[in-house]
Amino acid sequence: MSEENKYWHILEEFEPIKDVRNPKGREEVVSPTSRRNFLKVLGLGTASAALIASCKRPVEKAIPYFIKPEEITPGKAAYYASSYFNQNEFCNVLVKVRDNRPIKLEPNPKSVITPNGTSGRVQASVLDVYNINRYQHPKKNRETIDWETADSEIVSQLRQLANEGKPVILLTPTIISPSTKKLISEFTQTFNAEWHQYDAIPMDGWREANNRVFGTNSLPEYHFEKADCIVSVGCDFLGTWLSPVEFSGQYSKRRDLFNGDGNLTKHYQIEAGMSLTGSNADMRIRAERADYGRILAYIYNQMASQKGVSSNDAPTPPQEITQKLDKVISDLAASEGKSLVVCGDNNPDYQVLVNNINQLLGNVGNTILFERTYNHFQGSEKSLETLLNSNPGAVIIWDVNPVYNHPESDRIKAAIEKAPLSVAISALPDETTELCQYILPSPGYLECWDDAEYKSGVVSVLQPTLHKLFDARQAQESLLAWLGDETSWRDTIKNTWTADYFPLQNEQNDPDRFWVETLKKGELVVDATPVSVSLNSNEIESSIQKINTEKQADGITVELFENINIGTGHGPLNPWLQEVPDPVTRIAWDNYASVAPSVARQMGIQNGDIVQLGNLTIPAFVQPGQAEKTISIAVGYGRKKGIPEELITGVNAYPLAKVKNGFRLFTSSGLNLTKTGGHEEMALVQGHQSMEGRPIVRESTLDKWKENPAAGNELHEEIKHHHTTLYEKHEYKGHKWGMAIDLNKCIGCSACVLACNTENNIPVVGKKETARHHEMHWIRIDRYYNGEEENPEVVRQPVMCQHCDNAPCENVCPVAATNHSSEGLNQMAYNRCIGTRYCNNNCPYKVRRFNWLDYTGADAIPNNRFDPANMTLDLSRMRHNPDVTVRAKGVIEKCSFCVQRIQEKKLTAKNEGRQLEDGELQPACQQACPADAIVFGDLNDPNSKVSKMMKDPRNYHLLEELHTLPSVGYLTKIRNKS
């Protein structure tokens, strides 16, 4: 750790306040032992002893297939190419199917869009299929009916409405499927219907701005990997904005000092609340949310005057910001055509400024390309307005939930209730489906046929990997049925592909062959005609004028943002997503109002104190780096309808959004912050895992690194000289597995945590247990702050079992349940563990997890079960990875370096009679990482990438002064402060 960096991890360290996180502590588990309880236990004990004594081995059946499908080998996984799309997330994936059940999603390495990794949400989405809350039958007024009745009733009503000339409205999320679009247009023609697309968090303002400036409302491609200087104004492009998985890969390419040429990007983030992207920035400038417009106007004016373009009068932002902005502007000017300015606001006027700045910098055509434009975010507020005003005869709502996530949900509710016919097509119950007469269940995406054109000219297919679990039907199949078309939906897609895409390629001559090959690859890239751009810089004046007239309201501005895991409101139903802590605040299972430390101190607010903001009551969280007059709240929480009680968490913040000039804006100003006196315990996972004052994350700056590649890591050499040991050295005659993590590339998105959850059957423990620090994740991403609490620098570090050669845990296990393997793994035999937890106590990294309760249902005794999120139901258990033991109560578990994958890949190599190739073997975390920050391999092979990284001067080990000799190495974080 360099001298100037003093790390702290939660705000309490700056100003010690009473620890209120767990007031009652351990007492909760102690129940009074009464005579009655004693007798109960005695009875149960006797009964179970008798049962165990008298039970013979049960007769087990071995039931083979009737006809064994050729492509299925029992005990072996098959992979199918498919795609995931939801709002701002698109990933080409390979679905791992074991014995007919999809159990894991892996990135498709051949994809042109997301070859490196996936997001955490994609990883978790496999659980959505096995959700017990899904609709299981079609319903009419809450009564189960059959499909034929539903179809005939709906069609006759639709026909009648069409004859009467009453509008039929089809409300969908953004549809990027070319086949579905075709089908919808057929449907709209036949039934005289109107089709509207709706996004929970729209980008119509930005599309409008592009229309004004570039003459096209397309969303262009952004190339972060080509930008030397990135300036982001409140834009979380690594977390949630536009195409985060893709951008993470691009961004991390330019943070790579191991493979790269040392030409780091310079990333400025100007923002009010601490976002994931902001916490990764080289320089973060704290600004009020209300100042974004003026900041953009200032940058534009400065750029314009440098270029000799006429500037417009605009109020300047506060002086402490303009001082910092001058440096930003000079850096931008120095990297003309190789920079990017982005803004995450849906205000078209802001985006007009951003477009003009990029234009002035010559970025359009270089880092911003209109060649392959994005097809998602088609929803527009104006479209929704027509729905509300048109007095529709029928509303067909397909997988959108505006009643929950629109600020004027009452109007929407009224419109749906008023319509003579309302039909909801949805997999899961929600606030909107509850209002509809007909509910038509749709299957999960892993049970569907579909196609997707995310970027123009990059077309993907989705194929089912599971027989439909319930009596569900795809929305497209419903439309086909209503149109009286008897072609299956799969054939419809195939026909579209044969007609539209087959002629565009020349690899295959036979349409059937072409279809099969596309299914194998999952993706087809065809030429796309670039969108022509005609520049119009006249708009700038009116935009600046509008920013000039922005009221500077007194009081607090609330900014709403999308949490990287929970998203716009789908996440709460997925317990994995709920349990992964927010990468910045490290709070799971809740949303909260982030308050600046100075404000909190002034008002006496502590973490978890309930505050009032307008109509919203919400717990507060003291967030370093938060702007004083801005409070940030995540949307997506507070779902109440159609969600099991134990998963209802947080507060719905959507009502604070505003519709202004026909665009939905996710800010609200002029609010007052008051304390209500209440308090709520939040599941804050960091604080108990503090690595007090020790050189845990080492960092330096680019300039110093250029002089000395070991800058910031001087300790590593020093400690090496002190290494001495009484223990014998392990001998590794074959493999020696190791992992290197580049802290400069890790963005903290938590995809690795969720991938690990899926791969290793990690249990969900629920909010209460998480708050007591009983979470079970095998990998965690520690976050440390450095510097002033007003605007600290943030560092992150993924920590999993370090597989030490001198492992402190191994020496203390009384039953040798954890010991060292001949390949350098610190192995853990669950069936040998007796739960003393000595290992846990002796682990300096605190990476061992104890099963305090039976979270998985693996115990023989049903009364032991603790299941806060329906994860032990047979349905949820269907997605367990059969290659990993499901752990019972009372045993320790921890990262195994995905030993099941090591075994599998070694076996493949042995069977093929060849050596393992470097990079062939990837643990789940590495595979999912979109930023390519984790590298795994054989340290005995001097040519492997991990060996080379371990020899890099930046490499160090966690707490290496303890001489634990970890197999995990970290490369120092290097900030570009030049």
Q: Which positions touch other proteins (CB under 8 A)?
A: 50, 53-54, 56-57, 59-68, 73-76, 731, 733-735, 819, 821-823, 825, 827-832, 883-886, 896, 899-900, 903, 906-907, 909-916, 938, 940-941
Distance CA 281, CA 265 (A): 10
Nearer to other proteins (CB atom), residue 483 or residue 829: 829
Nearer to other proteins (CB atom), residue 14 or residue 830: 830
Beta bridge partners of 364: 368
User: C-alpha angle 490/492/493, rounded to 5°?
Assistant: 65
Q: Which helix (H) or strand (E) holds 170?
A: strand 168-172
Structure tokens at 231: 């300036």
CB of 941 to other proteins, least distance (A): 8
Give the number of C-alpha atoms closer than 13 A to the C-alpha of residue 610, restricted to the C-beta side.
12
Sign of the CA dihedral running 50, 51, 53, 56: positive
Give the number of C-alpha atoms closer than 13 A to the C-alpha of residue 711, restricted to the C-beta side.
16
CB of 66 to other proteins, least distance (A): 5
Which among 201, 134, 84 is positioned nearest to 569, based on CA atoms?
A: 201
Nearer to other proteins (CB atom), residue 161 or residue 825: 825
CB of 800 to other proteins, least distance (A): 15
Q: Compute φ and ψ for 786, nearest 5 degrees.
A: -140, 125
Structure tokens at 308: 């000799």
Which among 243, 235, 120 is positioned nearest to 176, based on CA atoms?
A: 243
Beta bridge partners of 622: 595
CB of 821 to other proteins, least distance (A): 4
Q: How many CB atoms lie within 10 A of CB 836?
A: 14
Which among 82, 90, 80 is positioned nearest to 176, based on CA atoms?
A: 90
Distance of CA 542 to the CA centre of its chain: 37
CB of 811 to other proteins, least distance (A): 16
- Virtual torsion, Cα 902, 906, 908, 913, nearest 10 deg: 170
Strands 973-975 and 699-701: parallel
CB of 944 to other proteins, least distance (A): 11
Nearer to other proteins (CB atom), residue 722 or residue 733: 733
Nearer to other proteins (CB atom), residue 32 or residue 913: 913
DSSP tag of 10: S
Check if the beta carbon of residue 185 is closer than 8 Å to that of residue 170.
no
CB of 918 to other proteins, least distance (A): 11
Nearer to other proteins (CB atom), residue 91 or residue 888: 888
User: C-alpha angle 341/344/345, rounded to 5°?
Assistant: 115
Nearer to other proteins (CB atom), residue 20 or residue 907: 907
Check if the beta carbon of residue 533 is closer than 8 Å to that of residue 214.
yes
Nearer to other proteins (CB atom), residue 516 or residue 907: 907
Q: How many CB atoms lie within 10 A of CB 50?
A: 10
Nearer to other proteins (CB atom), residue 24 or residue 914: 914
Nearer to other proteins (CB atom), residue 46 or residue 487: 46
Nearer to other proteins (CB atom), residue 640 or residue 832: 832
CB of 129 to other proteins, least distance (A): 24
CB of 858 to other proteins, least distance (A): 8
CB of 946 to other proteins, least distance (A): 15
Nearer to other proteins (CB atom), residue 382 or residue 832: 832
Distance CA 363, CA 356 (A): 10
User: Which residues in 623-728 belong to E strands, given as ranges?
Assistant: 630-635, 658-660, 663-665, 667-671, 673-679, 683-684, 699-701
Structure tokens at 175: 């549809």
CB of 879 to other proteins, least distance (A): 17
Which among 960, 700, 691, 972 is positioned nearest to 7, based on CA atoms?
A: 691
Q: 3-state DSSP call for residue 129?
A: helix
Nearer to other proteins (CB atom), residue 29 or residue 59: 59
Which among 421, 409, 493 is positioned nearest to 200, based on CA atoms?
A: 409
CB of 780 to other proteins, least distance (A): 21
